[in-house]
Structure 1
Amino acid sequence: MRTERDSAEGLRALRTEVGAFLREWREEGRFTPRCDSWLRDHDPAFSRALAERGWIGLTWPREYGGAERSHLARLVVTEELLRAGAPVAAHWMADRQIGPAILRHGSAELKRRFLPGITRGETTFCVAMSETEAGSDLAAVRTTAALTGEGWLLNGRKVWTSHAHRSSHAYVLARTDASGRKHEGLSEFLLDLATPGVTVRPLFDLSGEHHFNEVFFDDVLIPHDQLLGVEGQGWKQVTEQLSFERGGAERVLSTYPLLAAFVSGVEPGDSLAVQAAGELTARLSVLRAMAWRVASDMDGGRAPIREAALLKALGTAFEKDVVETVRRVRGTLPDPAGGDLERLMARAVPAVPGFSLRGGTTEILGTIVAKGLTSDAPARPGRTPLGELAADVLDGRGQDPGLWEELRELGWSGAGLPEELGGGGGALQDLLTLLEAVGEHGAAVPLLETSLACWLLVRAGRPLPARMTATVALPGAGLRTGETLDGTIERVPWAAAAELVIVPLDGELVLLDAAVPGWRVEPGHNLAGEPRDTIHLDGCRIPPGHRIACDLTRETVLERTALLQGAQIVGALRTALRLAADHARTREQFGRPLAAFQAVSLTLAEAAARVEGAETALARAAEAGAGAPVAALRLWLAEAAGEVAAAAHQVHGAMGITREHPLHHTTRRLWAWRDEGADARHWAGTLVRAVGQGPGDDALWRTTGVDTADGQDDRGGRA
């Protein structure tokens, strides 16, 4: 539910309020930041303090003690709590998933009985789903609930039930009918743990901590009215509930206190640490944006099951990589009595094995995602009208030699630029949509280069020539400037085909065309066969009118190039994933489609997660237009391009590495584009400089945050 309080300004105010509360508690010594605090650190007094401020049940109706705020508001509170490593385990399960399940499926009486107690921090829940015999096969549960005249008689046992020894109630998944298939006949119950017949036995984790438990039910009587939802519909209900569990920030921020301590200590001259810190910062920014999109979808009434699964898979891998990176780069030894890094490592290292298990294993999540990929139903709404138009124009014409002339006639290169200067009008997002389509269809056209040159001319106040083919040659340190230009500029896209080459220099743009003597082009190509030419300048004297004052820096031009090429890469990533999914659906091996094999499903799911992250990173970078989000986009794409290309070839097998198969048109572009313009080391340094050094994590948090105009996913941007 969206209210005025959940505008961008309202969300920022809420974040400030929660942050101030947490600082007060830390400064008073009432908690110490720890990794994995949402699962392990149980403090009823802390949870009650949150409840007093209305931060439990934040999205729930007021009649049940809620605040009737949006899922985005809840995400803000959740992020701040996890960022601080606060002790939130007492209320976590009830607030995250049990309360929403009661709201959706519970009777009026169940809502009145349980929800107000949860929002006060008094009624606490553990989740009794898992069983030793079932493992990751949740539908194989053996705990039974038999209907009697007095109620439901519960028998069986559950395991890995966190905080059952401290909780007042349990959510229990049990079998009420064994006559059908295993996914049928399951039901959900709400159980008072003080009921006779309940026995809780402690299980200690790798660090010796006690939050896990084994719970035994021996003829435990549950009243009739504590059945949650519809008898026999438990599988459908629990699958929906798991999206609440998987799509939250806790799947990303379990090791955030360790990451913040690591990044704050990176020295600018330590190239290994800068690279590692930049890459982790980029991943965090994309994952936080994905969590934002999941919350936005929930505010829009969707149950983002697929998106939550993708976020969980990416997030748990990230949390593990934070620990491994700190160990590898810093050589930090876990020590409970050591400094900040050592102490945080001592909590994080034993928790790592559980990251990819809780909430569903990576393999199970892969199956969920792959089923969506290989079905006919789209996971998200389709293209925008402009995207549909672009697809119609480009479909099947990627290598058509007459395509560029048609695109020039259509005015594509002026998209997002002012009409009064000869542009096509519209927003930056219009151009990015067109470039995504170019990448998706493998179109061999200089749209990116010409649009970049047009942007430079517009920024310098120059009108755009009609139907121009142009490119930008960004010089290196070896170019000698003055009255003449001398040296070479390498890897200039489409220079031989361009009627105009723009060379950005300090404080000015130099225009090279047929009227300028002393320069020539040596043709070359990149791995994808696209023109990447060398410009030779030998006493090149620039005539009047070919130097234009312009205050753009080299970094600004690099950022713009990176954003535009990022859109092309995202389009190509989609095509690689689509080709792999189509092949897995239609190709049979051993009498079954490839998609039926778990190894293939997992490969597809990993690729889909990287594509989802790439789309989210592009949306965030487009909204910002420049700065850290663009650096994060390019770092994400630098890895995603290689991983998705490898996954596509793995699924296709030997046929995918032949020249006759169309897959190579996409994967060779991905390999060629991922480091063009500036490589991952450059963008890692950009992010680390944006974060800065010193105590605290405010800069890291701001750099990786999502802050749009209205609090929703926004794919607009500045021209």
Structure 2
Amino acid sequence: MTTDMHQELAELRRQVREVVDSWWQDGRFTPICDAWLRSYDAEFSKTLAARGWIGITWPRELGGQARSNRARLVVTEELLRGGAPVAAHWIADRQIGPAILRYGSPSLQREYLPRIASGEVTFCLGMSETESGSDLASVRTTARPDGDGWRLTGGKIWTSQAHRSSHAYVLCRTSKSDDKHAGLTELIVDMSAPGVTVRPIIDLRGEHHFNEVTFSDVAVPCDHVLGAVGNGWAQVTEQLSFERGGMERVLSTYPLLAATIDAGPADRAVLGEMLARLAGLRGLAWQIAAELDAGHAPVQAAAVLKDLGTEFERDVNEAARAVLDVEPDPNSYGPAGLLAQGLLAAPGFSIRGGTTEVLRTIIARGASRPTAHHDELRSLADDVLAGHGGDPAGVPAIWSTVCELGWTTIGVPESQGGSGGDLADLAAFVEGLGRHGVSVPLAETALAARQLAAAGRGIPDGIATIVLPGLAETLEVVPDRLRGKVTRVPWASTAQTLIVYAGELVLAVPADTEGVRITPGQNLAAEPRDDVSLDVALTDTMILTGAEPAAEVSALAGLLVAAGLVGALDAAVEHTRTHVTTREQFGRPLLKFQAVAQTLAQMTSELVLARTAVSTALADPTPAHVAVARVLTGRAATSVARGAHQLHGAMGVTREHPLHLSTRRLWSWRDERGTTRSWAVMLGESLIPGGSAKVWQWLTSLSPSSRRETPVRVSLSVMEESGLSCSSLEELV
């Protein structure tokens, strides 16, 4: 995204925030949870419309501003952050307008889009029916041809704001078929038409936004068909990506989260984890907006966002309960009141827009292998690493190929003897190690090479590793000596060079230096994790001037662990997908059992979120962004490993099946270079003292990008000698 676009979106954000704050300070609304569904104020919507913020992505000739979906995301975030009264225009702006723009006739577009954009026309959704439950395709409301129009008969339920809406979108059946997905059609219905009856339904909060709507032989003009007659199922499936892919599926309880943050001293681990999840979900919403800008309908990603987003909204309630330690009070407007609102609204979170079970069925059956960034590098990593997984016995033979290909010096400029490229390139290969269960000291040696090159020392000979003291460890620097002990150092027992961080000093210590003692150890994946004891005489040649400071290297090391975790997650999900698709029980594939599909979908969603967070952190590897990636990959490691073993059954608990190469790494790596909890605490401590304003400023600064600054070069000759595929290398170099 260009600098101009950043500035444009920042100015838009400022303007929207100014309007919301002005209305709030004037006492014209009270922030509430679930405001996008419940807080209705037609005048507020018209205020937004006057500024062009309803239908902001639509063409100017149809009442819009022809701006991007990312601009709409900015508007959405600021409105939801403030708990503003947006229910009057929300459905029309979010869902019906885009559907009309995509499938409506030119006359239908001209009739409705400008009136939606002005706040004149409002919409409710006529989808659910009393006997259909979550089976949307089983609708029984029918429309029969009648002269030059249609006659609509039937009923819809749980129709929010129907009593206030000028029009309804209605999914109905226009023909019978053995295929229940065939013969469905979308209509636009005037709610003031004769034969439309609305009955109020009071919800758990004692509020009236739900309704039952009955259509008794309602006349609908023929030109009010949305799209093609009988094509309703394909259209509504796509349309649901607009409904499911927005931040309202994440921020319904944000006013409660903000109040919890501002309430004072709190459990930084609990809130840090919640902020990490929020940041990951926001990154996914940003990617969905980019897909919409590209003209795509990201049905799968939207289902993932809705599934994980509604789970997050619900968990905000529990985090607030744990942190605030107050009794919910429906008569309060403070945190206790917001908690009451959130708790009473929560049962609907995982139902509206498609139940969790339906969404996870979509995810499980429709998902292919998640697309990685740097696809060419992924292919190269797969070519090199496939078949080399296993427990390392010393340094595996594949290490020599890795070195000859120049992977260990990715991120070091070519002018300094490196392979060029950037951190994202290196991460693509580290991810490949995790995907194939290959254990070599790539991340450690590459990070060490960065430090040596930055200090003008060239690149390391052989294996090198970074020695960073843990929280309870110190390295004492006294005149002319370095003393202390650092535990669980990756690959120290195989290294020729140790890059040691001792206070402000960064030192290159040859492993065979007198006073260096290494005690071998292992992690759960049988990889070397060794204790390094130092009582070493310092020399001037050891000091690295210009190396990156400890905090930055710690973040980079942690981020590369996260990249490896994504690879192991990918492999575990793929093993499981293959297993449940091909293995049969009771005469059908395991995937046909709902419980199996639900578990696989949850695993897939966690992988998608983890990958999104790592991508964001690679674009801007600040400690806070890295913390998000580590929290989300750590959470995913726990969930995916558990689900994979559950679905593999007894087969998965042996070493005869390759699943263990992934899950033992997940269990090991999730707590290396900092535990999941410690990263959550760090994130909480860095953000929460600044209050919800600082949290929001940080959150909305995240703009995922996969841009690579410089090309990465690899050795073509080694590839050719190894008999590996070179089909994509010309594009890389």
- Is TM more than 0.5 here? yes
- Whether the aligned pair in 2 keeps the contact of 1:620 and 1:706 (CA below 8 Å) is no
Question: Of 519, 530, 553, which residue of structure 2 is paired with 1:522?
Answer: 519
Cα separation, partners in 2 of 1:379 and 1:336, compared to 1, 3 Å? same
> Higher mean Cα deviation, 95-104 or 381-390?
381-390
- Report whether the alignment pairs 1:500 with 2:497: yes
Question: Which residue of structure 2 aligns with residue 618 of structure 1?
Answer: 614
> Higher mean Cα deviation, 339-348 or 477-486?
477-486
Aligned-residue sequence identity (percent) comes to 51
Question: Which residue of structure 2 aligns with residue 598 of structure 1?
Answer: 594
Question: Which residue of structure 1 aligns with residue 173 of structure 2?
Answer: 175
Question: Of 467, 471, 474, which residue of structure 1 is paired with 2:465?
Answer: 471
Question: Which residue of structure 2 aligns with residue 61 of structure 1?
Answer: 59
Q: Secondary structure of 1:24's partner?
A: helix
Question: Which runs of at least 4 in structure 1 moved beyond 6 Å after TM superposition?
Answer: none
Question: Which residue of structure 1 aligns with residue 431 of structure 2?
Answer: 436
Cα separation, partners in 2 of 1:229 and 1:138, compared to 1, 3 Å? same
Amino acid at match of 2:215: F
Cα separation, partners in 2 of 1:380 and 1:515, compared to 1, 3 Å? closer
Cα separation, partners in 2 of 1:145 and 1:652, compared to 1, 3 Å? same
Question: Of 358, 363, 366, which residue of structure 2 is paired with 1:364?
Answer: 358
- Report matched runs for 1:326-405 at 5 Å: 326-338=320-332, 340-373=334-367, 380=371, 384-399=375-390, 401-405=396-400
Question: Which residue of structure 1 aligns with residue 488 of structure 2?
Answer: 491
Amino acid at match of 2:572: A
Deviation at 1:707, TM superposition (A): 4.1
Question: Of 219, 235, 240, which residue of structure 2 is paired with 1:237?
Answer: 235
- Structure 2 regions of 5+ residues with no counterpart? 713-733
Q: Distance in 2 between matches of 1:398 and 1:646?
A: 21
Question: Of 293, 311, 317, which residue of structure 2 is paired with 1:317?
Answer: 311
Amino acid at match of 1:713: S
- Whether the aligned pair in 2 keeps the contact of 1:496 and 1:533 (CA below 8 Å) is yes
- Structure 1 regions of 5+ residues with no counterpart? none
C-alpha distance after superposition, 1:175-226 (max 9, x if no partner): 1112332111111100101111111000000011000000111111111211
Question: Which residue of structure 2 aligns with residue 699 of structure 1?
Answer: 694
Amino acid at match of 1:587: R
Amino acid at match of 1:395: A
- Whether the aligned pair in 1 keeps the contact of 2:369 and 2:574 (CA below 8 Å) is no
> Higher mean Cα deviation, 665-674 or 481-490?
481-490
Question: Which residue of structure 2 aligns with residue 75 of structure 1?
Answer: 73
Question: Which residue of structure 2 aligns with residue 32 of structure 1?
Answer: 30
Q: Distance in 2 between matches of 1:470 and 1:530?
A: 15
Q: Distance in 1 between matches of 2:53 and 2:365?
A: 36
Q: Distance in 2 between matches of 1:234 and 1:338?
A: 44
Deviation at 1:340, TM superposition (A): 1.9
- Whether the aligned pair in 1 keeps the contact of 2:29 and 2:84 (CA below 8 Å) is yes
Cα separation, partners in 2 of 1:46 and 1:562, compared to 1, 3 Å? same
- Report whether the alignment pairs 1:421 with 2:416: yes
- Report whether the alignment pairs 1:661 with 2:653: no
- Whether the aligned pair in 2 keeps the contact of 1:246 and 1:359 (CA below 8 Å) is yes
- Whether the aligned pair in 1 keeps the contact of 2:389 and 2:439 (CA below 8 Å) is yes
Amino acid at match of 1:500: T
Amino acid at match of 2:681: G
Q: Distance in 2 between matches of 1:656 and 1:679?
A: 26
Amino acid at match of 1:592: R
> Higher mean Cα deviation, 423-432 or 132-141?
423-432
- Whether the aligned pair in 2 keeps the contact of 1:252 and 1:318 (CA below 8 Å) is yes
- Whether the aligned pair in 1 keeps the contact of 2:421 and 2:708 (CA below 8 Å) is no
- Report matched runs for 1:403-414 at 5 Å: 403-414=398-409
Question: Which residue of structure 2 aligns with residue 210 of structure 1?
Answer: 208
Deviation at 1:479, TM superposition (A): 3.4
Cα separation, partners in 2 of 1:14 and 1:34, compared to 1, 3 Å? same
Question: Which residue of structure 2 aligns with residue 195 of structure 1?
Answer: 193
- Whether the aligned pair in 2 keeps the contact of 1:628 and 1:703 (CA below 8 Å) is no
Aligned length: 704
Cα separation, partners in 2 of 1:508 and 1:519, compared to 1, 3 Å? same
Deviation at 1:422, TM superposition (A): 2.2
Cα separation, partners in 2 of 1:495 and 1:393, compared to 1, 3 Å? same
Question: Which residue of structure 2 aligns with residue 575 of structure 1?
Answer: 571
Q: Distance in 2 between matches of 1:551 and 1:432?
A: 20
Q: Distance in 1 between matches of 2:34 and 2:72?
A: 19
Question: Which residue of structure 1 aligns with residue 300 of structure 2?
Answer: 306
- Whether the aligned pair in 2 keeps the contact of 1:332 and 1:342 (CA below 8 Å) is yes
Q: Distance in 2 between matches of 1:514 and 1:615?
A: 35
Question: Which residue of structure 2 aligns with residue 453 of structure 1?
Answer: 448
- Whether the aligned pair in 2 keeps the contact of 1:563 and 1:621 (CA below 8 Å) is yes
Question: Which residue of structure 1 aligns with residue 156 of structure 2?
Answer: 158
- Whether the aligned pair in 2 keeps the contact of 1:559 and 1:630 (CA below 8 Å) is yes
Cα separation, partners in 2 of 1:642 and 1:314, compared to 1, 3 Å? same
Cα separation, partners in 2 of 1:265 and 1:618, compared to 1, 3 Å? same
Q: Distance in 1 between matches of 2:33 and 2:258?
A: 11
- Whether the aligned pair in 2 keeps the contact of 1:61 and 1:68 (CA below 8 Å) is yes
Deviation at 1:717, TM superposition (A): 7.0
Deviation at 1:108, TM superposition (A): 1.3
- Report matched runs for 1:552-591 at 5 Å: 552-591=548-587
Question: Which residue of structure 1 aligns with residue 726 of structure 2?
Answer: none
- Whether the aligned pair in 1 keeps the contact of 2:370 and 2:608 (CA below 8 Å) is no
- Whether the aligned pair in 2 keeps the contact of 1:278 and 1:684 (CA below 8 Å) is yes
Q: Distance in 2 between matches of 1:489 and 1:228?
A: 67
Deviation at 1:438, TM superposition (A): 1.1
- Whether the aligned pair in 2 keeps the contact of 1:35 and 1:254 (CA below 8 Å) is yes
Q: Secondary structure of 1:162's partner?
A: coil
Q: Secondary structure of 2:476's partner?
A: coil
Amino acid at match of 2:131: E
Deviation at 1:356, TM superposition (A): 0.3
C-alpha distance after superposition, 1:631-660 (max 9, x if no partner): 111111111111011111111111111121
Q: Secondary structure of 1:548's partner?
A: coil
Q: Secondary structure of 1:503's partner?
A: strand
Deviation at 1:577, TM superposition (A): 0.5
C-alpha distance after superposition, 1:318-344 (max 9, x if no partner): 000000111123222221333521121
- Report whether the alignment pairs 1:275 with 2:266: no
Question: Which residue of structure 1 aligns with residue 719 of structure 2?
Answer: none
Amino acid at match of 1:521: I
> Higher mean Cα deviation, 638-647 or 393-402?
393-402
- Whether the aligned pair in 1 keeps the contact of 2:260 and 2:323 (CA below 8 Å) is no
Task: Give the alignment's Cα RMSD to 1 decimal.
Answer: 1.9
> Higher mean Cα deviation, 444-453 or 355-364?
444-453
Cα separation, partners in 2 of 1:643 and 1:717, compared to 1, 3 Å? farther
> Higher mean Cα deviation, 152-161 or 500-509?
500-509
Q: Distance in 2 between matches of 1:548 and 1:7?
A: 40
Deviation at 1:516, TM superposition (A): 1.9
Deviation at 1:444, TM superposition (A): 1.3
Amino acid at match of 2:351: L
Deviation at 1:459, TM superposition (A): 3.5
Q: Secondary structure of 1:496's partner?
A: helix
Q: Distance in 1 between matches of 2:9 and 2:225?
A: 36
- Whether the aligned pair in 2 keeps the contact of 1:450 and 1:471 (CA below 8 Å) is yes
Deviation at 1:86, TM superposition (A): 0.4
- Whether the aligned pair in 2 keeps the contact of 1:8 and 1:707 (CA below 8 Å) is no
Query: Normalized against structure 2, the TM-score is what?
Result: 0.93
Deviation at 1:706, TM superposition (A): 4.5
- Whether the aligned pair in 1 keeps the contact of 2:268 and 2:685 (CA below 8 Å) is no
Q: Distance in 1 between matches of 2:242 and 2:20?
A: 24
Q: Distance in 1 between matches of 2:308 and 2:709?
A: 27
